[in-house]
């Protein structure tokens, strides 16, 4: 892991952009560029080759999903580029589009509300930059809320654990959150991977695959 | 589709139960109350009508030109009648409008007395006058023909008793014995319901003429204008909603996020034991709560997904968030007014919400299609059915929303299911 994470930031609202720059700088990220539109983001990311891209979804020029499109385009060029997108509201389609880009890992989809939890937000950014994946708890909740075939076999507790896994947390962090032992979490995770037909391996990202598989499946099918 | 209770005679006549309803009695009341009015008017008309008939008769049959005195009388009389008619027609029209309620529950508003000069200059007045002539001239003839039919039928019915006492009865041909009369009587009895229907038709025809002649055309155009202005208003309202949504989303929301972020950063700099720590934490929490609230508020005004993804995409998001599997078929092309998109979105949202809450379904389907100038939205589920708009399952509110967009909502939900909600929204502007 590099000593300093170099970030390209895109956010069209000036005050929020300044705030994010202040936050990133404070936590010892290096902000190479802070821009306000999708084309500028593409240029800046190509020029600086950062360790992480953090971008808003709704941005000029189209004010629709321009930020997301730019992120997906960048991931097509550099599949391992870590990207975190910020969204004003929960939209599973966006989360799926992001997870479909590049290698499907090193991505984050967060509600803008999360920036309020300063330390947790920074943790998430670090996790993604280090190779993890983070999906907003609200998105995960919405997806797990619906009983779907692959997840029907899971118990309520296992779903809870899966939700936390999807946020990219470690066993220790899940254990602390659920007030159980780490061994118990390990057992739950084993069961989940077994039930979802995903044999456990050393690679922690594999655990997230459980949710990724689910997210990538066609919502209409 | 006919409504539960027919609003007027012509509608009621199409019902099978017409003969055993109150409508024949209302018809009878209407017809009989016509007689004195029609009679008086006919009397008035005869003052001119009789000499006119005599003159025409003389001219056509005998080639004799009418005398000067007669022509003078006819000319002056006609002028007098025409001069008088707009004044006489005013109370008659009032009575007729009031009487029309016997066979037509749709109110027919009257106009107040507009002043003598205005009375002569209004087109509606002359329609009333035309009705006056119709009621005094044509209606009596029709009534006479009908009365003759009734008398003929009654004669046939009673013929078996009449024969013998007072000699032969003549119906078509002379009938001399009771045995000969009985088939006629049977036919006549069978014809009685036909006469009832004929009476119904006569009254319905008269009511239709009265309605046409006595309605003030001004009202009709005014109502059209009201409907148009309602559409305009709803359109303006929709545009305003969108503007508010945009302002909140692009203006207030990021600023609030920024404020919350700054408060979060500030908290990091303030030591836990400082007197400022607690109020700062409270402010931070409140700002976060406000962010969530504002997000829900913006979503309620106009769903973000609709702005970003269009109707089909937004509906797919809705389907994705449902607790049961929902299949979406969207076949959309061409531009749609904003109000149609928003309404369709809320229809699907509310209908899927109902499926969630009430239907105990395991599957649902949403279908969006363009049919002619309409957008057709169909939401179906395999639940237990029995959805009842009267029980306030949100369907009434939905119907109101649809009506505001000039559309209509149809519901099929038999007990045991399945339920189908169909909404048709016109896309023309």
Confidence of residue A219 (pLDDT cuts 50, 70, 90): very low
Taking an 8 Å cut-off on Cβ atoms, the answer to whether B316 and A13 are in contact is: no
Mean pLDDT, each 10-residue run in order, chain B (429 residues): 66 84 89 90 84 82 79 87 87 90 80 80 86 89 92 85 69 74 86 90 90 71 64 80 86 90 92 91 93 86 82 88 86 85 91 84 91 88 81 76 85 84 83
In a domain, A151, yes or no: no
Q: Is B240 on the interface with A (CB under 8 A)?
A: no
Of A119, A145, A171, the residue at which a domain comes to its end is: A145
In a domain, A75, yes or no: yes
Q: Is A190 on the interface with B (CB under 8 A)?
A: no
CATH code (residue A99): 3.40.50.2300
Taking an 8 Å cut-off on Cβ atoms, the answer to whether B304 and A93 are in contact is: no
Total domains present in chain A: 2
Same structural domain for residues A181 and A105? no
For position A214, what pLDDT does the model report? 60
Same structural domain for residues A78 and A114? yes
Q: Which range, of A4-18, A54-68, B396-410, averages the lowest pLDDT?
A: B396-410
Taking an 8 Å cut-off on Cβ atoms, the answer to whether A13 and B258 are in contact is: yes
Q: Does residue A28 sit in helix, strand or coil?
A: coil
Same structural domain for residues A139 and A166? no
Taking an 8 Å cut-off on Cβ atoms, the answer to whether B260 and A91 are in contact is: no
Residues B68 and B72: their CA atoms lie apart, in Å, by 6
In a domain, A181, yes or no: yes
For position A49, what pLDDT does the model report? 93
CB count, 10 Å around CB of B341? Answer: 24
In a domain, A121, yes or no: yes
Same structural domain for residues A75 and A95? yes
Same structural domain for residues A111 and A172? no
Domain around A170: 156-217
Which of B247, B251, B254, B296 best probes binding to A when mutated, by most A CB atoms within 10 angstroms?
Answer: B254
For position A138, what pLDDT does the model report? 82
Residues B285 and A118: their CA atoms lie apart, in Å, by 12
Q: Is B360 on the interface with A (CB under 8 A)?
A: no
In a domain, A60, yes or no: yes
| Percent of chain A's residues with pLDDT above 70 | 83
Same structural domain for residues A23 and A96? yes
CATH code (residue A192): 1.10.10.10
Structure tokens belonging to residue B259: 């404020």
In a domain, A43, yes or no: yes
At residue A149, does pLDDT exceed 50? yes
**A88 contact residues in B (CB cutoff 8 A):** 249, 253, 295, 298, 304
- Backbone phi, psi, residue B377, to 5°: -115, 125
In a domain, A206, yes or no: yes
Same structural domain for residues A66 and A24? yes
CB-based contacts of B6-14 (< 8 A; 24+ apart in sequence)? B7/B104, B7/B105, B7/B106, B8/B103, B8/B104, B8/B105, B8/B106, B8/B204, B8/B207, B9/B103, B9/B104, B9/B200, B9/B203, B9/B204, B9/B207, B10/B204, B10/B207, B10/B208, B13/B197, B13/B200, B13/B201, B13/B204
Question: Which of B257, B299, B317 is nearest residue A115 as measured by Cβ atoms?
Answer: B257
Same structural domain for residues A135 and A177? no
Question: Which of B250, B261, B321 is nearest residue A115 as measured by Cβ atoms?
Answer: B261
**A16 contact residues in B (CB cutoff 8 A):** 254-255, 257-258, 261
Exposed / middle / buried, residue A128 (Cβ in 10 Å: 0-12, 13-18, 19+) = buried
Confidence of residue A73 (pLDDT cuts 50, 70, 90): very high
Same structural domain for residues A127 and A62? yes
Same structural domain for residues A129 and A54? yes
- Comparing CA positions, the residue from A14, A96, A93 lying closest to residue A56 is A14
Of A114, A145, A176, the residue at which a domain comes to its end is: A145
In a domain, A183, yes or no: yes
Of A145, A166, A190, the residue at which a domain comes to its end is: A145
Same structural domain for residues A122 and A190? no
Same structural domain for residues A120 and A186? no
């Amino acid at each position: 892991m590099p000593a300093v994470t170099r970030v390209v930031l895109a956010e069209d609202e000036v005050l929020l952009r300044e705030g994010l720059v202040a936050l990133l700088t404070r936590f010892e990220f290096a902000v190479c560029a802070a821009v306000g539109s999708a084309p500028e983001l593409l240029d800046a990311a190509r020029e600086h080759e950062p360790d992480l891209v953090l971008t808003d979804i709704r941005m000029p020029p189209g004010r629709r999903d321009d930020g997301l499109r730019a992120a997906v385009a960048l991931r097509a060029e550099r599949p391992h580029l870590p990207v975190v997108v910020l969204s004003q509201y929960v939209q599973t389609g966006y989360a799926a589009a992001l997870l479909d880009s590049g290698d499907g890992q090193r991505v984050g989809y967060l509600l803008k509300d999360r920036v309020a939890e300063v330390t947790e937000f920074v943790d998430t950014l670090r996790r993604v930059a280090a190779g993890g994946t983070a999906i907003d708890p609200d998105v995960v909740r919405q997806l797990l809320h619906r009983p779907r075939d692959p997840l029907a076999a899971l118990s309520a507790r296992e779903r809870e654990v899966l939700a936390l896994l999807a946020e990219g947390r470690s066993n220790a962090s899940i254990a602390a959150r659920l007030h159980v032992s780490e061994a118990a979490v390990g057992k739950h995770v084993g069961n989940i991977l077994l039930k979802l037909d995903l044999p456990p391996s050393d690679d922690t990202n594999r655990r997230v695959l459980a949710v990724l598989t689910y997210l990538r499946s066609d919502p209409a099918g | 589709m006919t409504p539960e209770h027919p609003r007027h005679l012509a509608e009621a006549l199409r019902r099978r139960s017409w003969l055993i309803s109150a409508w024949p009695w209302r018809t009878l009341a209407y017809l009989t109350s016509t007689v004195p009015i029609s009679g008086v008017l006919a009397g008035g008309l005869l003052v001119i009508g009789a000499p006119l008939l005599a003159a025409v008769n003389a001219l056509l049959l005998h080639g004799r030109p009418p005398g000067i005195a007669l022509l003078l009388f006819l000319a002056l009389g006609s002028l007098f009648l025409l001069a008088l008619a707009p004044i006489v027609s005013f109370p008659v029209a009032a009575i007729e409008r009031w009487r029309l309620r016997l066979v037509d529950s749709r109110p027919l508003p009257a106009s107040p007395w507009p002043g003598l000069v205005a009375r002569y200059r209004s087109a509606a007045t002359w329609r009333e006058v035309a009705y006056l002539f119709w009621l005094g001239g044509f209606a009596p003839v029709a009534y006479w023909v009908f009365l003759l039919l009734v008398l003929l039928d009654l004669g046939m019915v009673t013929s078996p008793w009449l024969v013998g006492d007072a000699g032969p009865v003549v119906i078509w041909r002379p009938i001399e014995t009771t045995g000969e009369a009985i088939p006629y009587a049977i036919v006549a009895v069978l014809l009685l319901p036909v006469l009832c229907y004929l009476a119904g038709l006569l009254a319905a025809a008269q009511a239709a003429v009265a309605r046409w002649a006595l309605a003030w055309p001004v009202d009709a155009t005014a109502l059209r204008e009201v409907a148009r202005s309602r559409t305009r208003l709803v359109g303006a309202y929709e545009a305003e909603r969108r503007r508010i949504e945009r302002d909140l989303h692009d203006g207030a929301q990021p600023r609030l996020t920024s404020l919350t972020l700054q408060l979060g950063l500030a908290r990091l700099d303030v030591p836990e034991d400082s007197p400022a720590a607690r109020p700062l934490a409270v402010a931070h929490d409140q700002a976060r709560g406000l962010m969530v609230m504002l997000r829900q508020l913006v979503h309620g005004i106009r769903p973000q997904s609709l702005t970003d993804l269009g109707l089909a995409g937004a509906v797919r998001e809705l389907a994705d968030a449902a607790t049961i599997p929902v299949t979406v078929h969207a076949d959309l092309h061409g531009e749609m007014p904003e109000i149609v998109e928003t309404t369709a979105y809320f229809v699907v949202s509310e209908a899927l919400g109902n499926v969630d809450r009430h239907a105990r379904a395991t599957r649902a389907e949403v279908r969006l299609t363009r049919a002619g100038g309409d957008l057709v939205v169909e939401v179906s589920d395999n639940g237990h059915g029995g959805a009842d708009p009267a029980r306030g399952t949100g369907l009434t509110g939905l119907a109101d929303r649809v009506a505001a967009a000039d559309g209509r909502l149809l519901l099929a939900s038999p007990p045991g299911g399945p339920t189908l909600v169909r909404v048709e929204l016109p896309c023309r502007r």
